[in-house]
């Protein structure tokens, strides 16, 4: 959510930003909110004038009564009553107008960074750089669930009977590998100075609307029936929500946190949810990183965050690349975003395994997170990035570490978490 003052003073910039995100249907919202803002400021001005008049008239009543001018005093009292009634009306109008403005402002996309490439959708994202040499072995690589099934590591049929499509059971060494990857990712981030957290896995609606757009909320979140609670789609939601309505001393910045959680997603509108696959599912686990920092430091932290994910995948000998997300592929709260993609030898292409986002002060403004320093308060910037999400990461892992005999090599860094094993065999 952008600053109303910025919109008021720069409507053309806001409109061009909407065009750059190919959301022309939202262009009328700018003029609508400007008119509402004009009305609201008029209500506030009239209310201030009435409050000042009330104080002045109250003094007149006392003076008139002291002079025995009861009739004139009663006339002034009537005026005070009329003013009070109008003031109550104005306060109600102001409250309604403020709520309308907030609702509209939450639909207007954040101002994207000037470096973001302009494009309609993810097909126009721009490759930035590659890390590691993509390889395709001489032997054929099976579909990832076939690999996992051959190692007695996944049971999709039972999961389908229990919960439906988009769920799975992991078993044996593959289940152990799943946990090993998460634990290794946790330790990897702790070694880089991040504080480990396990957050609530449910959040209230005011936190949901504070951390994401309405479109994301509708497409992702599972609502707990009969309660003001939602299952989180990522730990970023509850981690940023932790600071709602808080004033944080500036000396505590930057806050660098890494969090574990299960994640729950409806995947509404997603196409090609593979019944046999684990690429796009309704429940998974993830290690995340979150930063709350000074506005002037957010660009530096953005680059540090995505580099952390690249470095982790490279320790596992998985080739990756980074893609700059174009304007049309950015969620409304995001200023800038980079996807990290891993190499798939089977598909002979890269696929997304993580996303790094700078949200500027949008989440802080919605959640009323403030920083206090040097006698002033200001809004911090918030950033988040996937360290690792094992379902997709497992696809990249087994494909890039598969041997011709069907066994899967375990990189050295993971062996301490796998009881010293260097290979998963049939």
* CB distance 167 to 283 below 8 Å: yes
Residue 333 has pLDDT above 80, yes or no: yes
Residue 216 burial (CB count, 10 A): 15
Tell me what the mean pLDDT of segment 134-143 comes to: 94
In this predicted structure, what is the pLDDT of residue 64?
Answer: 64
In this predicted structure, what is the pLDDT of residue 273?
Answer: 46
In this predicted structure, what is the pLDDT of residue 20?
Answer: 97
* CATH number of this structure's domain 122-424: 3.30.930.10
More confident site: 73 or 350: 350
More confident site: 82 or 41: 41
210-267 pLDDT, tens per residue?
998 878 888 889 999 999 999 999 999 999 999 999 999 999 999 999 999 999 999 7
More confident site: 166 or 321: 321
- For residue 331, what pLDDT band results from cuts at 50, 70 and 90? very high
More confident site: 48 or 142: 142
In this predicted structure, what is the pLDDT of residue 61?
Answer: 65
Tell me what the mean pLDDT of segment 397-426 comes to: 96
157-169 pLDDT, tens per residue?
999 999 998 899 9
Residue 352 has pLDDT above 70, yes or no: yes
In this predicted structure, what is the pLDDT of residue 71?
Answer: 74
Tell me what the mean pLDDT of segment 312-331 comes to: 96
47-70 pLDDT, tens per residue?
888 888 877 776 676 666 667 677
3-state secondary structure the chain: CCCHHHHHHCHHHHHHHHHHCCCHHHHHHHHHHHHHHHHHHHHHHHHHHHHHHHHHHHHHHHHHHHCCCHHHHHHHHHHHHHHHHHHHHHHHHHHHHHHHHHHHHCCCCCCCCCCCCCCCCHHHCEEEEEECCCCCCCCCCCCHHHHHHHCCCEEHHHHHHHHCCCCCEECHHHHHHHHHHHHHHHHHHHHCCCEEECCCCEECHHHHHHHCCHHHHHHHCEECCCCCCEECCCHHHHHHHCCCCCEEEHHHCCEEEEEEEEEECCCCCCCCCCCCCCCCCCEEEEEEEEEEECHHHHHHHHHHHHHHHHHHHHHCCCCEEEEECCHHHCCCCCCEEEEEEEEECCCCEEEEEEEEEECCCHHHHHHCCEEEECCEEECCEEEEEEEECHHHHHHHHHHHCECCCCCEECCHHHHHHHCCCCEECC
Q: What are phi and psi of 285, to 5 degrees?
A: -120, 155
Residue 137 has pLDDT above 50, yes or no: yes
**CATH for the 4-105 domain, from 1.10.287.40, 1.10.260.40, 1.25.40.10, 3.40.50.450:** 1.10.287.40
Lowest-confidence pick of 187-196, 214-223, 337-346, 400-409: 214-223
Tell me what the mean pLDDT of segment 13-24 comes to: 97
Residue 275 has pLDDT above 90, yes or no: no
**CA–CA distance, 411 with 421 (Å, rounded to integer):** 10
Q: Where are the domains of the chain?
A: 4-105, 122-424
Tell me what the mean pLDDT of segment 38-44 comes to: 93
Alpha carbons within 13 A on the beta-carbon side of 115: 10
360-411 pLDDT, tens per residue?
999 999 999 999 998 899 999 999 999 999 889 999 999 999 999 999 999 9
* Mean pLDDT of the residues in the chain: 92
């Amino acid at each position: 959510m952008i600053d109303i003052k910025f919109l008021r003073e720069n409507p053309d910039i806001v409109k061009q930003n909407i065009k750059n995100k190919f959301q022309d249907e939202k262009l009328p919202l700018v003029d609508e909110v400007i008119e509402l803002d004009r009305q609201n400021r008029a209500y506030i001005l009239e209310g201030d004038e009435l409050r000042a008049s009330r104080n002045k008239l109250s003094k007149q009543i006392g003076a008139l009564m002291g002079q025995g001018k009861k009739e004139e005093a009663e006339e002034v009292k009537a005026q005070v009553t009329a003013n009070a009634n109008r003031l109550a009306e104005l306060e109600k109008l102001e409250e309604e107008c403020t709520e309308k403005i907030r609702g509209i402002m939450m639909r207007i996309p954040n101002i994207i960074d000037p470096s973001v490439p302009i494009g309609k959708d993810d097909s126009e994202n721009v490759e930035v750089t590659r890390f590691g040499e993509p390889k395709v072995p001489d032997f054929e690589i099976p579909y990832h669930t076939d690999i996992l099934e051959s190692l007695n590591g996944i049971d999709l049929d039972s999961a389908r009977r229990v919960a439906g499509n988009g769920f799975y059971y992991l078993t044996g060494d593959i289940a152990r590998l799943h946990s090993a990857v998460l634990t290794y990712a946790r330790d990897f981030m702790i070694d880089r100075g991040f504080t480990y957290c396990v957050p609530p896995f449910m959040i209230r609606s005011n936190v949901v609307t504070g951390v994401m757009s309405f479109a994301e909320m509708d497409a992702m979140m599972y609502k707990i029936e009969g309660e003001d609670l939602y299952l989180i789609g990522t730990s970023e939601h509850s981690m940023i929500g932790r600071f709602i309505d808080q004033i944080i001393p500036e000396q505590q910045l930057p806050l660098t946190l890494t969090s574990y959680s299960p994640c729950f997603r409806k995947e509404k509108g997603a196409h090609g949810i593979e019944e046999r696959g684990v690429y796009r599912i309704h429940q998974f686990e993830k290690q995340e990183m979150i930063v709350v920092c000074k506005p002037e430091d957010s660009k530096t932290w953005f680059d540090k965050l995505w580099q952390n994910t690249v470095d982790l995948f490279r320790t596992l000998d998985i080739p990756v690349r980074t893609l700059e997300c174009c304007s049309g592929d950015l969620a409304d709260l995001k200023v800038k975003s980079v996807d990290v993609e891993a190499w798939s030898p089977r598909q002979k292409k890269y696929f997304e395994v993580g996303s790094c986002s700078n949200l500027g002060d949008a989440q802080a403004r919605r959640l009323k997170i403030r920083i206090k320093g040097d006698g002033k308060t200001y809004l911090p910037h918030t950033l988040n990035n996937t360290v690792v999400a094992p379902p997709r990461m497992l696809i990249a892992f087994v494909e890039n570490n598969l041997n011709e005999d069907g066994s899967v090599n375990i990189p050295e860094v993971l062996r301490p978490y796998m009881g010293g094993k260097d290979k998963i065999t049939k």
